[in-house]
Amino acid sequence: MFAFIFRRILQAVVVMLVISLAVFAIKKQFGDPVRDLVGERVTQQERAQIAEKMGLNDPFFTQYGRFIRDAVTKGDLGRSFLYNKPNLEVIIAHAPATIELVFGTALIIIVISLPLGIYCALWPRRLLSRFTMSFSTLGVSMPVFLTAILLIYLFAVHWQVLPSYGRGETVDLFGMGYWHTGLLTIDGLKHLILPCISLSTLMLPLFIRLIRSEMMEVMETEYIKYAWAKGLAPSRVWLVHAFKNTLLPVITVFGVQIGIMFAFTLLTELVFQWPGMGFMFLEAVNRADLSLLIAYMVVVAALFVFVNTVVDILYGFINPTVRITGTK
């Protein structure tokens, strides 16, 4: 198992190096950092001096090596021209809103998809099962922004029971100014409901269908038939024998989708004016803050790789029968 964990971590490091190299190459192709930093009124000679001081005239791999060194040793991903702050500081300031949005969305997906998926697998011909599968098809077909607008119209405009934008009232979680959370206030929780529901419609139908199909497949295996022959209680057969083996592929897909969800918060944050990393990214695009865009892509890629690495390792612990090269 140690060799398995080591290989997964090594793969994650290699993937991050490749991603950072690709992102850094994009940075070299678009925009002029000196112009973004000082504007148009500085002379060409002064620009050349600034570029030399910033190391922009160095060879590509020299700049890339310096970027990796500063990122690893100092956590320095450059400086935002829009906020006039270090990029990592700007991202960390916006990260709590996105993390809480993804956490709330994941909670909705887990709470709803698990019981509905199991129910649809065990009783596929019942009315609730048919309705759930039809509704899941509709959910997959509707884009997130359209669902968000519909929810705003119903709950914020028509019924006026939930807020339609912003995070609402927040509190400083650790007393250090780094994490302002709305999870500890009633107003903050109210503001979180519509964005989480909207974002969950992107993944919820997928997991209902995945759990249903995996559960139905497991229920046809020989060991389940043997469990029935032993006279075990239905609840034990369903939840202990069948559901446990259903979870393995679901956990793998869930880890991948959680990583993807960080990137898919863009539209949801835009519609609900949610001040997270997605909204920050769109502001950086509008203001051509290339340095912040590059840092954002590196951070999101790191989150995606980290989540998938953790899921791979957990999969190895959950399923001890998985054969790994050199280990079991």
pLDDT in tens, 69-94: 888 888 888 888 778 889 999 999 99
Mean pLDDT, range 117-145, rounded to an integer? 87
User: How many angstroms separate the Cα of 27 from the Cα of each of 12, 23, 235, 252, 281?
Assistant: 22, 6, 56, 33, 15
User: Which residues, 6 or more positions from 135, have their beta carbon under 8 angstroms from its beta carbon?
Assistant: 205
Stated pTM of the model: 0.83
Higher pLDDT, 16 or 175: 16
- The predicted pLDDT at position 323 comes to 47
Cα(295)–Cα(67) distance, integer angstroms: 11
Say yes or no to pLDDT of 28 above 80: no
Say yes or no to pLDDT of 230 above 50: yes
64-68, 94-98, 157-161: range with lowest mean pLDDT: 64-68
User: Which residues, 6 or more positions from 263, have their beta carbon under 8 angstroms from its beta carbon?
Assistant: 278, 300, 304
Indicate the DSSP class of residue 256: H
Mean pLDDT, range 13-20, rounded to an integer? 88
Cα(249)–Cα(142) distance, integer angstroms: 25
- The predicted pLDDT at position 325 comes to 47
- The predicted pLDDT at position 140 comes to 74
**To which residue do tokens 């002064």 refer?**
46
Cα(85)–Cα(52) distance, integer angstroms: 21
Mean pLDDT, range 171-185, rounded to an integer? 86
Q: How many helices (H) and strands (E) would you count in the chain?
A: 13, 2
Residue 326: which pLDDT band, with cuts at 50, 70 and 90?
very low
- The predicted pLDDT at position 328 comes to 43
Say yes or no to pLDDT of 324 above 60: no
Percent of the residues in the chain that have a pLDDT greater than 70, as a whole number: 91
Say yes or no to pLDDT of 134 above 70: yes
- The predicted pLDDT at position 193 comes to 95
